[in-house]
Structure 1
Amino acid sequence: MRTALIVVDVQNDFCEGGALAVPRASRAIANIKDLIARSRFTLTVHTRDFHPPDHISFAANHKGGQPFTSIKHDSLGTIDLWPYVVSKGTNASEEAYSGFGTAASPTELDSLLRQHAIERVVVVGLAYDYCVAATARDAALLGFKTVILEDCSAGVSPDPASTRQQLTQQGVLHSSWSHFCDC
């Protein structure tokens, strides 16, 4: 089966000591390195989180907005506010956790996977409960067989059970890289 590895947002801001550090990121990154070294994928893609300074998700762009809180937005519903500009959502008026972007501002990821006749995607990276989950959810919705390798991902939340349950209901499988041997 033609399989792509999608490495989501492994970048300095999300590592321990970074502006938006994800707990246990270094362990996930070490496992990702082992996975890449020991596995064969048809295609490996890395995503990068990139927001312009006037992006909708930054607390400073909302009067009275506080970092790490949520607000109601007129057209987008609830959005989370973040305290720093970290280098994916390049449209300042949209939130875009997914490597696939949004309906209004899609990235080239879907067309790249289809260009390589990918049937299955394996999603790993940072942070499990935000960008990894959104990327996996969109991959499943787009018809790709989708697997998240939990030991190659780390989340902000100490208890990812509700995220895992939602993803499972949407057809996303969960495994560990040591048990995922069909790469």
Structure 2
Amino acid sequence: MQRALLIVDVQNDFCPGGALAVPQGDQVVPVINRLLDRFPLVLSSQDWHPAQSRHFERWPVHCVQESQGAALHPDLQADAIQVRLYKGTGQADDGYSAFEATNLDLAQTLHQAQVDHLYIVGLATDYCVKATALDAIKAGFDTTVVLDAVAAVELTPGDGINALQAMSNAGVRLTHSSAL
């Protein structure tokens, strides 16, 4: 059995200057880059919305397929990513969790690679990281969120802390990169 690193939505539109920026979202990139060589399998998820999506009734237009905003952050060492997952690809598809990817089945991919422990990093703690971590637990994976490699949107103050508490209550481990 082995472990894998899943980078959730470290995309331009979720970083400062983007359409739906996470405050200091770009600060997770150096931490993630330092972790890459510690995992035999590195995956990433990306919001990949069509130009017309029900998702944009709730959120500003962001991460439209093939746009610069949908691209991974330019400082992320993307050449280390072996598997890319695209989510939110339908007109009525929110795609918060990487387990909702439409281009492949994440749970099946992890099982085929004999992954038993999934480490999650990325954006945003209170939405896509949380949804992905909770789905990982439901799918039977030991799951750890790396605290200094995630950042929250915080639409309401405390959303990030509340998300971490919900994940911990569900069985997700929380750690810092220095412990890996």
Task: State the TM-score bracket (shorter-chain normalisation).
Answer: 0.7 to 0.9
CA distance in 2, matches of 1:58, 1:26: 23
Change over 3 Å in CA distance of 1:133–1:106 after alignment to 2: farther
Contact 2:125 2:164 in 1 (8 A): no
Structure 1 residue 115 and structure 2 residue 112: aligned? Answer: yes
Task: Show the 5 A alignment for 1:92-111.
Answer: 92-101=91-100, 107-111=104-108
CA RMSD of aligned residues (A): 1.6
- Deviation at residue 107 of structure 1 after TM alignment: 4.0
The structure number with the bigger radius of gyration is 1
CA distance in 1, matches of 2:175, 2:17: 28
TM-score (norm 2): 0.80
Task: Show the 5 A alignment for 1:74-89.
Answer: 81-87=58-64, 88-89=87-88
Could you tell me which of 139, 142, 145 is aligned with 2:139? 142
CA distance in 2, matches of 1:106, 1:170: 27
Contact 2:13 2:62 in 1 (8 A): no
Contact 1:99 1:107 in 2 (8 A): no
Identity over the aligned pairs, expressed in percent? 40
Contact 1:100 1:107 in 2 (8 A): no
Name the counterpart of 2:23.
23
1:132-171 deviation line (CA, Å, top 9, x unaligned): 1111110011000000001001110153221111111111
Gaps of 5+ in 1: 60-80
- Deviation at residue 172 of structure 1 after TM alignment: 0.7
Name the counterpart of 2:77.
none
- Deviation at residue 106 of structure 1 after TM alignment: 8.0
CA distance in 2, matches of 1:3, 1:92: 33
- Deviation at residue 51 of structure 1 after TM alignment: 1.0
Change over 3 Å in CA distance of 1:106–1:163 after alignment to 2: farther
Task: Show the 5 A alignment for 1:56-67.
Answer: 56-59=54-57
CA distance in 2, matches of 1:150, 1:120: 16
Following TM superposition, the consecutive aligned residue runs of length 4 or more in structure 1 with deviations greater than 6 angstroms are none
Task: Show the 5 A alignment for 1:124-139.
Answer: 124-139=121-136
Change over 3 Å in CA distance of 1:145–1:161 after alignment to 2: same
Gaps of 5+ in 2: 65-86
